[in-house]
Amino acid sequence: MNLLDDLNPEQLAAVTLPDEPALILAGAGSGKTRVLTTRIAWLIQNGRVGPAGVLAVTFTNKAAREMLSRIESMLPINPRGMWIGTFHGLCNRLLRAHHRDANLPPTFQILDVQDQLSSIKRLVKAGNVDEERCPPRDLQYFINGAKESGQRAAQISGAGHDKLWVELYAAYDAQCQKEGSVDFAELLLRSVELLTRHEALREHYQHRFRHILVDEFQDTNTLQYRWLKLLAGKSGPIFAVGDDDQSIYRFRGANVGNMADFQREYNVQHVIKLEQNYRSHGNILDAANQLIGNNTRRMGKRLWTDAGAGEPLRLFEAGSDGLEAAWIVDEVRDQHRQGARLSEIAILYRANAQSRVIEHALFNAGLSYRVYGGLRFFERAEVKHALAYLRLIANTDDDVSFARIINFPARGIGARSVEQLQSAARAAGSSLFAAIATVDGRAAASFAQFAVLINGLRENAPHMSLSDLVSETLERTGLTNHYRNERDGADRVENLAELVNAAAGFVVEADPGAPAPAPEAGPAEASPAMVEHDLLHAFLAHAALEAGDNQASQGQDALQLMTVHAAKGLEFDTVFLTGLEEGLFPHENSLSEADGLEEERRLMYVAITRARKRLNLSFAQSRMLHGQTRYGMRSRFVEELPEKSVKALTPRLRGGFATAAQGGWPAMGSGAAPRAEVPGAAGAAGAADTHGLRIGQGVRHAKFGDGVVVRLQGSGNDARAQINFGSFGVKELLLTVAKLQPV
DNA sequence: GGAGACTGCGTTTTT
DNA sequence: CGCAGTCTCC
C-alpha cells in the first residue's frame, strides 16, 4: 500500500512539501500525527533524507513513542538512527555526547521538580536567607522562568528585592555545577548555550539534520524555539505542526507567538491548514467552531466533517455537585447497559479538586474508573529514596540525593548532625559525602557507617548487573525492610520490587547518531566520585526524564477521569464535561490575566473536541469547594454554544445572564460565608426576613442582570441578600431598596 | 527520632 | 473539606 493513499488534499500537500520551512495548522482531530509521521516516512522512502538526517521533537514521551511506532510500521527500516524524542530527551542526548564542551561531567544527574526544590531549600537554608522573603517555591519559579527565557543570573539586572533572588539564582547554578546535576530547564539552556558558543558543533548538526519536525509547536517556549533555530540554521527546513486554538500552556511559559515569529523569521511560504476533522460529529464541531470564534487573536481555521450532525450536545443543570455526579452515574450506567465500553467514556473537569465528588459517586455505584494525574511511578517517595541511593552510588558528589537518604531509613543522624556536616562541607568546598571523613561529632560513627555502606556498594557496582545492584541496594540499605515493617507499607514494598523489575528490563538504546566532531579539550578524566556503570547512569537519566505511568491498572475496562489539560490529544466516544460554572470554567483566576479568558476558551475548545459521538455538558447550582459551598452561575461558555446544537435536559431555571467580560466568581469567603444549605431549603440566618427569596434562587437586577441568591440575613429594614451576579461578582443588597425580580 | 497536633492553603502540568 | 508541611512534646 502506498504511503500517500487515503490522505486528503491538504494532508497530501503537507506530507509532500519541498524542503522548506513550513507551518501546518492542524485542527483537532485533523490527522496531525499521521501527517507528521507520513512526512518522515515519505522523505526517507524517496531518498530525500536518510534516517540520520531526521530530527523530530515532541513534548511528551508518549507522543514520541507513538511517532516512532507509527514510522516503524510504515517503513522497513530501523528508526533508531533518527533523533525522535522530547525536547528534554534530545537535549540530554546532546549534552551526554558533548559533555566536555558543555562543561558537564559525563554522568551528570537530572533533577526533577522535587529534587530541584529540595536543592533550592538547602541553598536558602545554607545562606541563612529569610524564607519569608524568599520562599523556595517562588525562587524555583523565578529560576525556571529565567532559564526558559534564556537568561543566566549574570544577564539579569537585579535591583532591590530582586537582587537577592538573582544572587540565589547564581548560587543555585554554582551548586548544581559543583554537584554535577542539571534541572529540566537547564537541559535546554545548556544545549542552547553549547550550540551558540560552539560554532563547529552547531554547523555539524545543522548540516546533519536536513529535516526538523516539531509537534505541538504552539506549546514551545522561547528557549525551545531558540534551540530549534540553532539546529535548523538560517534556512533550515523546520516542519512545524501546531494549532493556535489549542494553546493551553501559556501559564508554564508556552509562547503561541512562536508561530507568527516562525512564519515571519523564516519567511514561510507554505502554511497549510488541516481543517477536515475525522473525529467528531457535526454538532460537536459546530459547537467548537462557534465557541472558539469568540476569540479575537486567532490564525483562523474552521473544522468541518463529512460525518453527519450526529446527536446534539446535552446540557444538564444539577442542584449541586453531588447531584451532578449522580446524574453522570445514571448516564454512564445507561450507556454501559447499551454496550458502551467504560474506557470509551471520559469525565473531564477543569480542576483536580472536582474529581473527588465524582469518584465518590462512581465508587458507590460500583463503576470502575481510572483517574489520571497524580503521582507517577518514579515520583513515589519510596522509589525516589531508592533512586537517591543509586544516584549516590553513581556519584558521591550528588548532595541532593545524599540529603534525601542520609537518615532514611533512620540511622540516628538528626538535623543538627546534618547541619554540622553541611558547614564542614562548605568550609572544605567538598561534597557532603566527602565531608564525612572530617566530622567528629557524636554522629561521627553513624556517618562513618553510612560511608562504609555506600562505599561497599560502590565497589561492587561495576561488577554487578543493574537489577542485582538495585536489589542489593534495597536490601543492604534497609529500605525494603523499613517498609516491610511499616503498617501500610505493602504497596511501597511492591513498588520497590517493581523498580528491580524495571531495572532488569531496562535496555539502553545505543546512541547511533554519529556523535559530533572530535572534541578539542584534553582527556576526559573520570572523577573519582563517579562509579563506572554505564547502564546505571542511563537508567537514572531515564528515571528522571520519564516519570512513568500514573496508576496504570491497565487492561481493565474503566471510565477515564482527568482534567481538560490532561485530555489534550486524546479522544473518546462519549465525553462528560463537568463543572461548567462561572469562576470554575472559566476559572476566576484567569480573568485577571491578559489573554486569560481566551486561554480558558481554548481550553473549552480542547474539551469539546475530545468527543467523537456524544458530548454531555453539566453544571451545578452549588458546589463544595475549599470547605465552603459556593453558588455559581452557568458558564458563559455554555452561552457561546449554538442553540441548535444543544439540547437542554433540564428546564431553564434562571433567565439569560450577564455577559460582561469582567468580574467572575469572587471569593465569597470574604466576610460571611454562606452556609451549606441545599439550594431551595429555607434561608440561612434563622430570623432572616426573606422577602420570598430562597438560597439558590435566581433573581434579576436592573443593573447587574441575573444572579443567584447566596445568602439571606437580617430582617425588617435590614433584610439583606448576597447575590452572585456571575461576571459582576457577589453583591450584598438591601431587600427593601433593591428591585429584584425572581426568575 | 517519631507520633500526633496544628496551620495554612487551595488552577491547569510535562520534562 | 482534605492535604501537606511544620511544630511540639514525649
CB of residue A132 closer than 7 A to nucleic acid strand C? no
Judge whether A215 counts as a catalytic residue: yes
CA-to-CA distance for A648 and A317, rounded, in angstroms?
A: 8
Q: Residue type for A275, please?
A: E
Judge whether A33 counts as a catalytic residue: yes
Q: Are A684 and A697 in contact (CB under 8 A)?
A: no
What's the CA A136/C1' B1 distance, rounded, in angstroms?
A: 26
Q: What is the phi-psi region of residue A579: left when phi exceeds 0, alpha when psi lies from -120 to 50, beta otherwise?
A: left
Backbone angles phi, psi at A211, to 5 degrees: -140, 125
| Tens digit of each residue's pLDDT (9 = 90 or more) over A188-217 | 999 999 999 999 999 999 999 999 999 999
Residue nearest to nucleotide B14 (CA to C1'): A60
CB of residue A12 closer than 7 A to nucleic acid strand C? no
Residue nearest to nucleotide C1 (CA to C1'): A627
What's the CA A93/C1' C10 distance, rounded, in angstroms?
A: 52
Backbone angles phi, psi at A28, to 5 degrees: -60, 135
Instruction: Report CA torsion sign: A381, A384, A388, A389.
Output: positive
How far does CA A591 lie from the centroid of its chain?
21
Question: What per-residue confidence (pLDDT) applies to A441?
Answer: 74
Q: Are A479 and A492 in contact (CB under 8 A)?
A: no
Question: What per-residue confidence (pLDDT) applies to A296?
Answer: 92
CB of residue A626 closer than 7 A to nucleic acid strand C? yes
Got the DSSP string for A596-631? Answer: HHHHHHHHHHHHHTTEEEEEEEEEEEEEEETTEEEE
Question: What per-residue confidence (pLDDT) applies to A666?
Answer: 38
What's the CA A410/C1' B3 distance, rounded, in angstroms?
A: 15
CB of residue A62 closer than 7 A to nucleic acid strand C? no
User: Burial of A447 by CB count in 10 Å (0-12 exposed, 13-18 middle, 19+ buried)?
Assistant: buried
Question: What per-residue confidence (pLDDT) applies to A158?
Answer: 63
For residue A392, the SS3 value is helix
Question: What per-residue confidence (pLDDT) applies to A451?
Answer: 94
Judge whether A229 counts as a catalytic residue: no
Instruction: Report CA torsion sign: A558, A561, A567, A571.
Output: positive
Q: Please, what is the average pLDDT of chain A?
A: 87
- Strand pairing report for A740-742 and A698-701: antiparallel
Q: What is the mean pLDDT of residues A573-582?
A: 96
Q: Are A520 and A199 in contact (CB under 8 A)?
A: no
Q: What is the mean pLDDT of residues A604-620?
A: 97
Q: What is the mean pLDDT of residues A407-415?
A: 86
CA-to-CA distance for A568 and A216, rounded, in angstroms?
A: 11
- A372: the nucleotide nearest its CA (via C1') is B13
| Tens digit of each residue's pLDDT (9 = 90 or more) over A73-120 | 998 877 778 999 999 999 999 999 999 999 999 989 999 998 899 889
Given the residues A173, A186, A216, A245, the one annotated as active site:
A216
Q: Cα-Cα-Cα-Cα dihedral of A315, A319, A320, A322, to 10°? A: -80
Nucleotides of C under 7 A from a protein CB: 1-2
Within 13 A of A53's CA, how many CA atoms are on the CB side? 17
- Residue A308's nearest CA partner among A613, A548, A643 is A613
Question: What per-residue confidence (pLDDT) applies to A581?
Answer: 95
Q: Which residues contact A385 (CB under 8 A, 6 or more apart)?
A: A404, A405, A408, A479
Given the residues A58, A246, A305, A713, the one annotated as active site:
A246
Strand partners, A733: A721
Q: Which residues contact A85 (CB under 8 A, 6 or more apart)?
A: A56, A57, A58, A61, A64, A93
CB of residue A624 closer than 7 A to nucleic acid strand C? yes
Given the residues A16, A20, A33, A121, the one annotated as active site:
A33
| Tens digit of each residue's pLDDT (9 = 90 or more) over A460-495 | 999 999 999 999 999 999 999 888 888 778 888 888
CB of residue A137 closer than 7 A to nucleic acid strand C? no
What's the CA A350/C1' B12 distance, rounded, in angstroms?
A: 7
What's the CA A399/C1' B2 distance, rounded, in angstroms?
A: 25
Question: What per-residue confidence (pLDDT) applies to A1?
Answer: 66
Judge whether A741 counts as a catalytic residue: no
Question: What per-residue confidence (pLDDT) applies to A556?
Answer: 79
Residue A567 confidence (pLDDT) above 60: yes
CB atoms within 10 A of CB A728: 21
CB atoms within 10 A of CB A196: 14
CB of residue A627 closer than 7 A to nucleic acid strand C? yes
For residue A240, the SS3 value is strand
What's the CA A626/C1' B9 distance, rounded, in angstroms?
A: 9
Residue A308 confidence (pLDDT) above 90: yes
| Tens digit of each residue's pLDDT (9 = 90 or more) over A433-467 | 999 988 887 788 889 999 999 999 999 999 999 99
From residue A306, alpha-carbon distances to A275, A278, A309, A574 in Å are: 11, 8, 9, 19
CA-to-CA distance for A457 and A672, rounded, in angstroms?
A: 61
What's the CA A380/C1' C4 distance, rounded, in angstroms?
A: 15
Nucleotides of B under 7 A from a protein CB: 1-2, 9-15
